[in-house]
Structure 1
Amino acid sequence: MTEIEQENTQQSDFPTELPILIEDNIFLYPFMIVPIFVHDEANIKAIHYAMENGEKIFITTSKSGSEESRSMGSFYHAGVIGNIMRKVSLPDGRVKLLFQGLARGRILEFRGENPLVGIIDILPARNGDPHRIEAILSVLKDNLKTLANFNQSFPADLLRTIEENQDPHRIIDLISSTIKLKKDQAYKIFVEEEAEERLLLLVDYIIEEIEALKLQREIKHKVHNKMEQINKEYFLKEQLKQIQKELGVDVQRDEEIEEYRKKLESIKENVSKEAYKEIKKQIDRLSRMHPDSSDANVLHNYVEWMLEIPFGKASTKKLSIKEVGKQLNSDHFSLEKPKERIVEYFAVRELLNQRGKNQKDSKGTILCFYGPPGVGKTSLANSIATALKRPLVRIALGGLEDVNELRGHRRTYVGAMPGRIVQGLIDAKEMNPVMVLDEIDKVGRSYRGDPTSVLLEILDPEQNSEFRDYYANFNIDLSQIIFIATANDVGSIPAPLRDRMEFIEVSSYTPQEKFEIAKKYLIPQELKKHGLLASEVSIQPTALKEIIEKYTREAGVRNLRRRISQIMRKSAKILLDEGESTKITLTPKLLPTFLDKIVFEIDEADKKDTVGVVNGLAWTSVGGDVLKIEALKIKGKGGLQLTGSLGDVMKESAKIALSVVKGLIDEGILQTPKAPHSQKMIEKIQKQNEVALEEIYNFYDLHLHVPEGATPKDGPSAGIAMASVIASILADLPIRQNVAMTGEVTLRGKVLAIGGLKEKLIAAHKAGVKKVLIPKKNFERDLKDIPKEVCDALEIIPVTQISEVFKEVLVTPKQIHSKGKK
């Protein structure tokens, strides 16, 4: 034991039973007289126990510094044995002790839990070899002096006290209580019995503390120097500004460059390392250039453009397919299938959001709306942007030939600019807008490159996260953009580009759909646009139907809007001329005074059955049309002449139709009149051709013509109509004019499926046709897509063979005779 321990505590008294008090924050040492505040109930009970049994108590320290746990392993089993010199109960329930430490002790065993009582013994203290102790103490004192130099709060009298003391254990306890040690370090020194080991541990900890303080001083020194340098630069810059101001030099450019630097730093965390490095490099170059040089102007434009890109900015509106569906229904009448597919597309994105998955994992498709002009393709994209609360960017691709328009021009060119995609992001001010690529089927190709090759990268989810703009010279992430393409003719889009898109057809409107669209959307919108009230201008339903049927020729409603707009303009003029109290009601009789000449969209079907004229159905870029095909036989040798700007496929269809009809005549299925030539003429022809000429088709040349010869026509779907008109002219049988047809025919007389059925049936309905012949495959596959009003108005008959077509369309002699009797 130490000298003090021997004075204050008789070894013969120990081991003995003492109450145990657990302190949370501090380590106590034998020489200490300290006040202790206790509020823990278990500790207060231990104090009462001590006061009742000799006033001695054992104080140890908890390992975690928390009162919540008082298990046997939650505190150290070594501590200080001491006396309670004074105890005061405070008003707030706490107890204040004045504690005097006497000796180091340790717990041998526990005897009670409430209060905590244990058998306590004195912790031995062995000095060891005095020479070694003296040497280690010398090292310790040197390190303490070094520590005192670094630590300003080090007690000045501690070194003097140590010099005066000869007990190594007392010296160790004094130093341990003074310097900052962690609990486990303090306990390790406290519990050690050998003085030499305690000293060596203490020296190690002091050396660690000295190294830490050295590092702190070095860091403070560097920070201080840096602050001095910054202050120095600031004052020098301010002085330079004042000097430049006195000299009349413009400092605005320096301020502008500094503004660029600040803006770049503000977006640093949202910009890729490559982009940050490139923009910073160009700002640095700009700062070194003379402001009047040409390169400085190019760099100035570059920095301006790049800092306008909205890095890190994006719409945070939560995706909801209910809102998308509601907006689409609000803005568009009909178009059920396109609206359903759009909602499905966004349903996938919403599900991915809800389940916390990355949308890049879905490799989502790019939607492409295709159909005739004016049917609402771009309008659908507008509704999507409105529902998502995202900006809409429209990029017109019609006639685009230069690949650099999309990719961006390299900065070496005069007038170089970013590509349209990057400009679109700058205009949108967000990185996730809805971007409409309009007229993607009309992209051109020239010596400047092929823009479709850039579109392949832009629209590919695998690649567009690293789109390279030549002007920017770094990669830009386009994966957050919702791309929507529009097209009129899918066939004009290159195959690799088609492969990256999902096509949604937006087809023609029926007259009834146009009527509803005009009534619910177009008329209210045009009234508002022209500053008119519904009470001032009204259009009667009969007049509106006549506008649709006789003043417009289109699949969509764009021209219909123009006609309504024309009516509103004239109405506005009338109101100004005649006074605002005038009320205008547009009736069918007044239409000629408001609109120009009538344009018949489709000729009405003839009422009289005619030989050599058939109603074919055609698809055009502005919707369906009824195509009258005429045939004429002229004395000749079986030749075929075709007119009407027919394409190669349509010419082939005519030749196939002629061969099919010839085959039916040869088989006797189609009855024809006898040859009109005399026997002498027949013999002469037979001699010249050295073949038997018995059938009528060898005595006539056929001329097939499709009216409106200035309009190019092509496609195989007029096959059965051409076969019918050839059969009519050769068999001299009238064709029913209330029947229209469409279908491709093979050499064996089979009727094959065609496209554009909806537009064709709508055209037949408008022309007043009662019966329509279509291929059976189309009947089974596509009839569900046809509007109900069209299906109800037409008798649609499926056919598989050309003979079935002839039965429906050709009027036989018996039928003609029965009609005559009636």
Structure 2
Amino acid sequence: MEFSSGIASFITFIQVFFAVIIGLYFWNLLKTQQGNKSAVERESRKELEKLQNLRKISLSEPLAEKTRPGCFGEIIGQSEGLKSLKAALCGPNPQHVIVYGPPGVGKTAAARLVLEEAKKNPSSPFKDNARFIEVDATTARFDERGIADPLIGSVHDPIYQGAGPMGMAGIPQPKPGAVTKAHGGMLFIDEIGELHPIQMNKLLKVMEDRKVLLESAYYSSEDANIPGHIHDIFQNGLPADFRMVGATTRTPDSIPPAIRSRCLEIFFRQLMPEEIGAIAANAVQKISFTLAAQGLEIIKKYATSGREAVNIIQLAAGIAVTEGRKEIESADVEWVVNSGQYAPRPEKKVPAEPQVGLVNGLAVYGPNMGMLLEIEVGAIPAPSGQGKVVVTGIVDEEELGSRGKTIRRKSMARGSVENVLTVLRRTMDVDPRDYDLHVNFPGGAPVDGPSAGVAVAAAVFSAITGIPVDNTVAMTGEVSIRGFVMPVGGVVAKVEAARHAGVKKVYVPADNYQEMFQDITDLEVLPADTLKEVINGSLMTRGLEKKLVIGGQQRETLGSGNFVPAAGATVTGEY
């Protein structure tokens, strides 16, 4: 009995001992957890206090924010683009859109305002709670393993989730991307041309399906531990019914055809100097300063976008403030322009008077941006059939590369000059081989493309015959060796540039002619089918019929004015 009682007492002691040990362990663990929780709470309170103190600090609103358009009337110079954007997005069936245009002309602001305008339309599918989600394609990075994709969405598999509740349970966790956040609203992708090809292809699939289908090796439809909403996401996809507005400063040919075919393309043009001046004047008014008239003219000369104009004003105003002035002087603006190394706008005006061998061509140098391009030709008699041709100011060769191969070819501008020499011999009874010809494209910027063909032909014909070219006429179009004027690109931008340069008459290819050109009151736009039409209408041959002798042969032509023919060409008759 005593032995049994001793064993029972020992067992009881052991039980009590371990009970005390376990109790102390859990008491210490609970105390540690409470201490950790208290420490976390104290740290959280400190961080919250820091955040609140940081939020109390705010600097003045940047001038760029103050001048951001708040209504359509404040978006200057883009009436045609806004009209197209409204037509594409404010109706009962909004479309995906790509907006082309130079930086700082209001593409992002226009997209925001159009969404708000669409919400007001009862027939529009955009509801009052439709969201505007903005994504910058240059920073929209993704992981090829599908761990992270802020644009399309991704799945966080348990192996990547760590100690999270779903990771410990072995449950894959879907993460919605911008396309899902924009569901029922608008997804604005800035610089869409910079989007990675893989993401571009994924985006195309989402745009067609209007949902995002996700996959994971850790998902099983039979797993009862997976929550119902995750089952629904994997089986039905994340909703992604949105309308995309992509903005880019690139040209259309640099955007993949697959995305272009699914979108309407809208073009915002470059701002004119007067429009730049209006934006600058508005910025000056916003900061309660005054601007000297000469300073405004400098801004109009150097700023190419509204953003540049605002930046110049902001820096010039800073100079004035440091010197205790409320007026921005022209010297302040000049200093900003020089220190910022701004280049003057490529704005050219028509020559003051008609000249032999000088023609106003037209060119484009960016998305929907046109300019006047002077083309000058000098002709010097050479031994019969031994004349040489020198072309300067153009791109000599161009290199084309795609799909792992590179092709080199002679520049289209040089090929256009050679076409001109052939067509003049065939259709205009002029033999350029009897002259040393120098064709020059002044201005410093490399020129390429076939659209200067008619201008080169008119300049060469003028230089050889000595007939001056009307200085108020401009022209664009490719010339075939049969003497026809072929269609070219960017005609609308070229016509607009000609109007601002002071041109009174423009010849464009007949295939490029549009009815809208008839609404232009201060400029006559004429369609041309053949080179003869352009030369007859652009050279100073008004009034009387004359006889022009070229290379010893007599030609019939019309002429007016006083001029000196090139050597080897004589003119009979009165002018």
Counterpart-to-counterpart distance in 1, 2:24 and 2:515: 83
In structure 2, the partner of 1:735 is: 469
Deviations 1:302-346 (A, max 9, x none): xxxxxxxxxxxxxxxxxxxxxxxx965244234333333333344
Mapping for residues 539-558 of structure 1, pairs under 5 Å: 539=291, 543-548=295-300, 550-552=301-303, 554=304, 556-558=305-307
Identity %: 24
1:369 aligns with 2:99: yes
1:755 aligns with 2:505: no
1:780 aligns with 2:514: yes
Match of 2:135 among 379, 395, 408: 395
Match of 2:266 among 500, 504, 521: 504
1:382 aligns with 2:112: yes
1:337 aligns with 2:83: no
Q: Is the 8 A contact 1:397 1:439 kept in 2?
A: yes
Counterpart-to-counterpart distance in 1, 2:110 and 2:460: 45
Counterpart-to-counterpart distance in 2, 1:494 and 1:735: 42
The residue type equivalent to 2:111 in the other structure is A
In structure 2, the partner of 1:570 is: 319
Match of 2:386 among 634, 637, 643: 637
SS in 2 for 1:630: strand
Counterpart-to-counterpart distance in 2, 1:241 and 1:772: 98
Structure 2 CA distance for partners of 1:803 and 1:504, relative to 1, 3 Å:
same
Structure 2 CA distance for partners of 1:567 and 1:467, relative to 1, 3 Å:
farther
The residue type equivalent to 1:620 in the other structure is Y
Q: Is the 8 A contact 1:403 1:451 kept in 2?
A: no
Counterpart-to-counterpart distance in 2, 1:245 and 1:657: 98
The residue type equivalent to 2:112 in the other structure is N
Q: Is the 8 A contact 2:152 2:177 kept in 1?
A: no
1:619 aligns with 2:368: no
Deviations 1:524-547 (A, max 9, x none): 4xx3xxxx3x2xx12356753452
Please state how far the C-alpha of 1:627 moved relative to its aligned partner: 1.6
Query: TM-score, normalising length from structure 2?
Result: 0.64
Structure 2 CA distance for partners of 1:818 and 1:500, relative to 1, 3 Å:
closer
Please state how far the C-alpha of 1:600 moved relative to its aligned partner: 4.6
The residue type equivalent to 2:136 in the other structure is A
Structure 2 CA distance for partners of 1:657 and 1:331, relative to 1, 3 Å:
same
Counterpart-to-counterpart distance in 2, 1:416 and 1:508: 49
Structure 2 CA distance for partners of 1:652 and 1:443, relative to 1, 3 Å:
farther
Mapping for residues 522-671 of structure 1, pairs under 5 Å: 522-524=283-285, 527=286, 532=287, 534=288, 537-539=289-291, 543-548=295-300, 550-552=301-303, 554=304, 556-575=305-324, 582-584=325-327, 586=329, 591-592=333-334, 595-596=337-338, 599-621=344-366, 623-633=369-379, 635=382, 637-638=386-387, 640-643=389-392, 644-645=394-395, 648-666=411-429
Q: Is the 8 A contact 1:410 1:416 kept in 2?
A: no
SS in 1 for 2:264: strand
Please state how far the C-alpha of 1:503 moved relative to its aligned partner: 1.1
Please state how far the C-alpha of 1:380 moved relative to its aligned partner: 1.2
In structure 1, the partner of 2:214 is: 468
Counterpart-to-counterpart distance in 1, 2:32 and 2:440: 79
Q: Is the 8 A contact 1:409 1:416 kept in 2?
A: no
Please state how far the C-alpha of 1:248 moved relative to its aligned partner: 5.7
Structure 2 CA distance for partners of 1:423 and 1:630, relative to 1, 3 Å:
same
Please state how far the C-alpha of 1:725 moved relative to its aligned partner: 1.8
Please state how far the C-alpha of 1:502 moved relative to its aligned partner: 1.0
Q: Is the 8 A contact 1:441 1:489 kept in 2?
A: no
Please state how far the C-alpha of 1:571 moved relative to its aligned partner: 2.6
In structure 2, the partner of 1:484 is: 245
1:441 aligns with 2:171: no
Deviations 1:392-423 (A, max 9, x none): 332222497867455567768999999xx945
The residue type equivalent to 2:395 in the other structure is S
Deviations 1:252-280 (A, max 9, x none): 9x99xxxxxxxxxxxxxxxxxxxxxxxxx
- Flag the structure with more relative contact order, 1 or 2, with Cα contacts below 8 A and sequence separation at least 6: 2
SS in 1 for 2:469: coil
The residue type equivalent to 1:344 in the other structure is A
Please state how far the C-alpha of 1:712 moved relative to its aligned partner: 4.2
Q: Which of these two proteins has the greater Rg computed from alpha carbons?
A: 1
Q: Where does the alignment leave 5 or more consecutive residues of structure 1 unmatched?
A: 1-239, 256-325, 350-361, 576-581, 667-671, 673-695
Query: TM-score, normalising length from structure 1?
Result: 0.46
Mapping for residues 54-93 of structure 1, pairs under 5 Å: none
Please state how far the C-alpha of 1:594 moved relative to its aligned partner: 6.0
Q: Is the 8 A contact 1:244 1:251 kept in 2?
A: no
The residue type equivalent to 2:243 in the other structure is I
Please state how far the C-alpha of 1:478 moved relative to its aligned partner: 4.4
Please state how far the C-alpha of 1:617 moved relative to its aligned partner: 0.8
Counterpart-to-counterpart distance in 2, 1:726 and 1:472: 74
Counterpart-to-counterpart distance in 2, 1:748 and 1:241: 104
SS in 2 for 1:607: coil
Mapping for residues 667-816 of structure 1, pairs under 5 Å: 696-708=431-443, 711-783=445-517, 791-812=520-541, 814-816=559-561
Counterpart-to-counterpart distance in 2, 1:540 and 1:804: 48
SS in 1 for 2:474: strand
SS in 2 for 1:592: helix
The residue type equivalent to 1:395 in the other structure is V
Q: Is the 8 A contact 1:407 1:468 kept in 2?
A: no
Structure 2 CA distance for partners of 1:374 and 1:242, relative to 1, 3 Å:
farther
Counterpart-to-counterpart distance in 2, 1:807 and 1:780: 22
Q: Is the 8 A contact 1:436 1:485 kept in 2?
A: yes
Structure 2 CA distance for partners of 1:765 and 1:337, relative to 1, 3 Å:
closer
Counterpart-to-counterpart distance in 1, 2:238 and 2:116: 23
In structure 2, the partner of 1:451 is: 199
Please state how far the C-alpha of 1:798 moved relative to its aligned partner: 3.4
Counterpart-to-counterpart distance in 2, 1:749 and 1:756: 22
The residue type equivalent to 1:739 in the other structure is V
Structure 2 CA distance for partners of 1:385 and 1:422, relative to 1, 3 Å:
farther
Structure 2 CA distance for partners of 1:368 and 1:703, relative to 1, 3 Å:
same
Counterpart-to-counterpart distance in 1, 2:345 and 2:87: 39
Deviations 1:148-185 (A, max 9, x none): xxxxxxxxxxxxxxxxxxxxxxxxxxxxxxxxxxxxxx
Counterpart-to-counterpart distance in 2, 1:391 and 1:724: 55
Counterpart-to-counterpart distance in 2, 1:458 and 1:466: 6
Q: Where does the alignment leave 5 or more consecutive residues of structure 2 unmatched?
A: 1-21, 38-68, 120-128, 163-171, 220-232, 399-410, 542-547, 549-558, 566-573
Please state how far the C-alpha of 1:348 moved relative to its aligned partner: 3.3
Structure 2 CA distance for partners of 1:765 and 1:338, relative to 1, 3 Å:
closer
Aligned-CA RMSD value: 4.3
Mapping for residues 405-444 of structure 1, pairs under 5 Å: 406=151, 422-424=176-178, 431-443=183-195
Count of aligned pairs between the two proteins: 437
Deviations 1:55-108 (A, max 9, x none): xxxxxxxxxxxxxxxxxxxxxxxxxxxxxxxxxxxxxxxxxxxxxxxxxxxxxx
Please state how far the C-alpha of 1:496 moved relative to its aligned partner: 1.5
The residue type equivalent to 2:302 in the other structure is Y
Counterpart-to-counterpart distance in 1, 2:370 and 2:24: 77
Mapping for residues 95-110 of structure 1, pairs under 5 Å: none
SS in 1 for 2:323: helix
SS in 2 for 1:755: coil
The residue type equivalent to 2:28 in the other structure is E
Q: Is the 8 A contact 2:184 2:242 kept in 1?
A: yes
SS in 1 for 2:269: coil
1 or 2, which has the higher helix percentage?
Answer: 1
SS in 2 for 1:459: helix
Q: Is the 8 A contact 2:376 2:459 kept in 1?
A: yes
Q: Is the 8 A contact 2:466 2:564 kept in 1?
A: no
